[in-house]
Amino acid sequence: MNILVSTAGRHGATESLAQEMTRVFQHGGAEVDMRSPDSVIDVSRYDALVIGSAVYSDRWLPAVNDLVARVSTWAHPPVWLFSCGPLHSSDRPVNDTSDAAHAVSALNATSHRTFPGKLDAERLSVGERQIFAASGAIAGDFRDWVLVCNWAREILARLTAERPGW
């Protein structure tokens, strides 16, 4: 079974989630390609797609939105989507983006998950620091590895159930 994992982020947290999912998929016997969204030009050889984006200012990154637009015009295998972003203050939703909702609809995605990310204020650009200061976001590492691994296992279980003998 071949799985494509394609993500975009700015500071490494989204990629680290994708790397952990890839490890789980490989441990389960899948062949996995990790590719940047810009490098995906064909999905015909894959049995599943996992697409993820960091969330900034309540938006996915343009490269991921562009990938969604391309894939939506192709015949494609089942798709799982995820968003990655830091936690907001308790009175605001966490990364409930219109881009994710659009992607779920455009790709008829099996599911979309939002995973807490990591925000290191020291690594932000000046502009990002200004947005961070006004956003209500909280700095820190909030990645939940158990949640990420369990979701990857759910994907494998679904794919295996749909393809007996794999």
All structural domains of the chain, each given as residue ranges with its CATH number in brackets, are 2-162 (3.40.50.360)
What is the reported pLDDT for 113? 93
Lookup: tokens for 126: 């000046």
What is the reported pLDDT for 87? 56
Among 17-21, 30-34, 56-60, 102-106, which stretch is predicted with the lowest mean pLDDT?
A: 56-60
DSSP state of 95: S
Among 48-52, 78-82, 162-166, which stretch is predicted with the lowest mean pLDDT?
A: 162-166
pLDDT surpasses 70 at 73: yes
Q: What is the pLDDT of residues 123-161, one digit of tens each?
A: 767 777 777 677 667 777 888 999 999 999 999 999 998
C-alpha to C-alpha distances, 136 to 7, 56, 67, 102, nearest whole angstrom: 25, 13, 29, 25
Distance CA 38, CA 35 (A): 8
Q: What are phi and psi of 93, to 5 degrees?
A: -65, 155
Within 13 Å and on the Cβ side, how many CA atoms surround 159?
24
What is the reported pLDDT for 152? 98
Confidence of residue 16 (pLDDT cuts 50, 70, 90): very high
| Nearest Cα to Cα of residue 103 among 148, 77, 48, 64 | 64
Among 26-40, 87-101, 118-132, which stretch is predicted with the lowest mean pLDDT?
A: 87-101
Confidence of residue 89 (pLDDT cuts 50, 70, 90): very low
pLDDT surpasses 50 at 91: no
Q: What is the mean pLDDT of the chain?
A: 88
Q: Quick one: three-class SS letters along 114-149? A: EEECEECHHHCCHHHHHHHHHHCECCEECCCHHHHH
Lookup: tokens for 62: 């343009």
